Structure 1
Amino acid sequence: MDSFTEHLHSHPISAPGPASGLEILRPLRDWIDRLDVNNRFFAHQVCRIIPCCCPFERTFSLMGREIHIPALCELNPVYNELVGLRFRSLSYLADVCGEDISHYIC
């Protein structure tokens, strides 16, 4: 092996450290993950505010060509936490409150 290959094998690629730009949102992400859904009104509000699918994703035709705009919501740094909160809210309404949640499903 040449010295360059040895250098690559001896220094594995690591994830960005705490100085990365998204780590500043870690407290917000943790707070959203810790939110406990135990109130019917709160669960309904969460399900109304957080959409079940990205409202920006579109496919349309322009001059005979199909153009697809991808789901931009996934660029949101707290997207996964919000989806988790919505899922916990739906589970609370269905399992604990016994409500029909079909009107919240896309």
Structure 2
Amino acid sequence: MKHLISVHKVNLFSSIQQWLESVEICHPKVARSLCKIIPARCPFEREIKLFNRTIVSIPPLCKLNPFYDQIVEIRFKSLSYLADHCGEDVTLYC
């Protein structure tokens, strides 16, 4: 029974990943919203310093998300759409 559940999880994750990869950006308003919503870098990654010395380094926990690569790809597609098709300066979103 456990094996069957894990197979369904893998299939569900794979289906969602494929769906996210197939997302097409074709509206400037949607592209701008996605660029604002999806951060340029992982917000959880931190270095805690004391007197300019790193005490603790917290790794980018976003990579634990099974859809991280697809979400970053959507952000890239949005930036590319705004730059290539709309001629906008995308440095605002970087």
Q: TM-score range by the shorter chain?
A: 0.7 to 0.9
Contact kept in structure 2, 1:59 and 1:68, CA below 8 Å: yes
- 1:28 aligns to what? 16
Deviations 1:10-47 (A, max 9, x none): xxxxxxxx828444211111111111101001101110
- 2:37 aligns to what? 49
**Equivalences for 1:1-106 in 2 at 5 Å?**
19=7, 21-61=9-49, 66-105=55-94
How large is the Cα RMSD of the aligned pairs?
A: 2.0
Q: Which has the higher helix share?
A: 2
Structure 1 stretches of 4+ with a deviation exceeding 4 A read 62-65
Contact kept in structure 1, 2:47 and 2:54, CA below 8 Å: no
Deviations 1:59-100 (A, max 9, x none): 013697610000000000000000001000000000100001
Counterparts in 2 of 1:50 and 1:65: CA distance versus 1, 3 Å: closer
Structure 1 residues not aligned, in runs of 5+? 1-17
> What is the alpha-carbon distance in structure 2 between the residues aligned to residue 55 and residue 22 of structure 1?
27
One-letter amino acid of the structure 2 residue matched with residue 43 of structure 1: A
Structure 2 residues not aligned, in runs of 5+? 1-5
> What is the alpha-carbon distance in structure 2 between the residues aligned to residue 65 and residue 104 of structure 1?
28
Counterparts in 2 of 1:26 and 1:58: CA distance versus 1, 3 Å: same
> What is the alpha-carbon distance in structure 2 between the residues aligned to residue 72 and residue 50 of structure 1?
15
Q: TM-score, normalised by structure 2?
A: 0.84
Q: Radius of gyration: which is bigger?
A: 1
